[in-house]
Amino acid sequence: MSDRPTIVFFPEGAYGPTNNCVGIGQVLEARGARVVFVVEESFAGTLEAQGFEEALMRLKPPAEVEEVPGQFWKDFVRDTSPEFRKPTIEQLEGFVLPVWQELVDGARYVDDRLRELFGELRPNVIVEDNVVGFPAVVAAGVPWVRIVSCNPLELKDPALPPTFSGYSTGDRSGWNEFRARSRELHEPLQQELSEFCLERGAPALPAGEFIHESPFLNLYLYPPEADYERSVPVAKTWQRLGSCVREPDSVSGLSPHRQPIVYLSLGSLGSADVGLMQKLIDSLGQTDYFVIVSMGPQHEELRLAPNMSGEEFLPQPAILPEVDVVITHGGNNTVTESLHFGKPMVVLPLFWDQHDNAQRMQELGLGRRLDTYEHEPAELIEAIETLLADPMLPGRLSGISARLQADPGTVKAASLIEGLV
């Protein structure tokens, strides 16, 4: 029998959590571990191309047409995008609740398949980066790790704003109303998932939570300089990763004739909103900046300006060191990767924890939060110019970057996971 430990990663079916796990998996594999990714069938081949084993599963019945990675969520976001124009408290019913419902349905559908896979793979450790609990993980009889690759407000604290609200840490008006509305909408579904966990041999879920806390190891992802001051310390099983940046693919063609360089990315899901993407492209096309655009799944419908370069997918960790400002949806990976490389951000949040990240960057002066749909082109340009002209910001960001790069989250996480083997 091989002495190599088997580490199974089970990330959510989106590029952010998956890339997070890839970075950690690269370190573990280099140290001699067998790394296997449990991924949706639509992702088949994407992890294999990066040198990992894949074990395939489904979260819902097979589609009648061929799927691309994460296609369900791209379609879901496209169809529900009108909800993104609403205040966050209204998104709780129109977007957050339907997302929870889909995720809970997926956990029910896949449970038998996960048990089958874990029985075949016989992992030493299971590493889960999801936002709902999967009973098969908790009941597998091996140490398991929970990764939170969302904003750390997911770790609740009464002295901090409610999760997904995007509310200020300095103004508590509206906090209680938001929390009450969230409980009212989501508690019945949370109870349903908790009962399913009990039926399948896992503990009940903690009150108000859709996922268990691991008794072995929990990791969350946020730079120390941007993290929140807590009134209730987290349990000793929690460890913070300042950033978690995978080894980048190579990139070429980033030698523009003009400066500064602006990077525009709304993530694989946000970029599916063609109207919003084209508005941003048209606004930036009126500037002298060189703009690199991550065009996303609807790339054929977008028209770039002469001062731009873009592709459907871009190797973000290779691009970020070369740019001056990042325009982002506020996804946790892009925010932490931008800080890892010392880049200021203009944040245009759409959904989930993106609102919390946008508000945090605004509060700390590390970026500017704009109204995603209602901002004028001049506001976007002014936000970029303000960040570029801030005399103190480069020093602050370079200090954050240096500290994060000196303590790679990928290495820290790999060592902690090895400790469970």
List the chain domain ranges: 6-245+408-418, 261-389
Q: Which of the residue ranges 242-246, 255-259, 323-327 would you say has the lowest mean pLDDT?
A: 255-259
Q: How is domain 261-389 classified at the architecture level of CATH?
A: 3-Layer(aba) Sandwich (3.40)
pLDDT score recorded for residue 1: 44
Residue 71: pLDDT above 70? no
Q: Which of 39-53, 67-81, 190-204 has the lowest mean pLDDT?
A: 67-81
pLDDT bracket for residue 282 (50, 70, 90): very high
Please check whether the two domains, 6-245+408-418 and 261-389, share a CATH topology.
yes
Residue 274 pLDDT > 80: yes
C-beta of residue 226 within 8 angstroms of C-beta of residue 366? yes
Per-position b or e across 400-410, b if 16+ CB within 10 A of its CB = bbebbeeebbb
Which three-class secondary structure state does DSSP give residue 130?
A: coil
pLDDT of residue 254: 58
Residues 256-285, mean pLDDT to the nearest whole number = 87
Q: Comparing C-alpha atoms, which of 299, 330, 328 is closest to residue 312? A: 299
Secondary structure element (H or E) that encloses residue 279, with its range: helix 274-284
Band of pLDDT at residue 412, cut at 50, 70 and 90? very high
Q: Which architecture does CATH list for 6-245+408-418?
A: 3-Layer(aba) Sandwich (3.40)
Q: Is the pLDDT of residue 66 over 90?
A: no
Q: Mean pLDDT over all residues of the chain?
A: 92
**pLDDT tens digits along 97-131:** 999 999 999 999 999 999 999 999 999 999 999 99
pLDDT at 382 over 80: yes
Question: How sure is the predictor about 77, in pLDDT bands with cuts at 50, 70 and 90?
Answer: low
Q: Which pLDDT does position 62 carry in this prediction?
A: 80
> For the segment 335-348, what is each residue's pLDDT rounded down to a tens digit?
999 999 999 999 99
